[in-house]
Chain A
Amino acid sequence: QAVVTQEPSLTVSPGGTVTLTCGSSTGVVTSGHYPYWFQQKPGQAPRTLIYDTSNKHSWTPARFSGSLLGGKAALTLSGAQPEDEAEYYCLLSYSGARVFGGGTKLTVL
């Protein structure tokens, strides 16, 4: 089974910009992996921010964007807010299977 890798933790200043990445042990992440990004706050269920690389939901703040960058999937947060402090998980698709990354704990400080 593939292993999906994320930065364990990142810190961003309020108003700053940060990029979270999602890599695959099988090689380059492409649109064919249909990358997802989920946000999870303590005690809550995950919430889908981005699906199919870059698509947003109505509830996804405009400051979040998804892309492919340097062979990985990426989630960029531009203009971080205190409420963005959370755990972020990516999910990649491998034919019929899905694999989550280990998550990135984002601190806004």
Chain B
Amino acid sequence: QVQLVQSGAEVKKPGASVKVSCKASGYTFTGYYMHWVRQAPGQGLEWMGRINPNSGGTNYAQKFQDRVTMTRDTSISTAYMELSRLRSDDTAVYYCARFDVDSYDMDVWGQGTTVTVSS
């Protein structure tokens, strides 16, 4: 079945970087975009950006433009989201979600990865 499995929880110090992975299975990885969304504790969802796994092309939310890098490794069907210069307000659950460019459907979500930024 179609599945997105994310890497485990991370604890980082302010100023550090974190790299979250999202491993896809059950479908052709390069046929769907991957979006990244985060949710701070008790807060709403926030769109961070997307990557086209086929070309590697990216679009980032303006807020994260200078701190986020989304990449992929097609050989292992895995997308990555790296966030640098972490601050305490980056503490959140980070999700990946599959996006179908033909139907505009965002149908499958990863289970989420908790990133805690604390000194």
A89 touches B44 (CB 8 A): yes
- Interface residues on chain A, number (Cβ under 8 Å): 25
* Residue of B61, B62, B95 with highest tally of chain A CB at under 10 A: B61
Contact of A51 among B61, B62, B95, B107 (CB under 8 A): B107
B55 — which chain A residues lie within 8 A by C-beta?
A: none
**B46 at the binding interface (Cβ < 8 Å):** yes
Residues of chain B at the chain A interface (Cβ within 8 Å): 35, 37, 44-47, 50, 59, 61-63, 95, 97, 103-107, 109-112
A52 touches B104 (CB 8 A): yes
Residues in A47-94 with C-beta less than 8 Å from chain B:
47-48, 51-52, 55, 57, 87, 89, 91, 93
> Which of A10-18, A21-29, A96-104 lies at the binding interface?
A96-104
A102 — which chain B residues lie within 8 A by C-beta?
A: 44
A45 touches B110 (CB 8 A): yes
A48 touches B112 (CB 8 A): no
B111 touches A45 (CB 8 A): yes
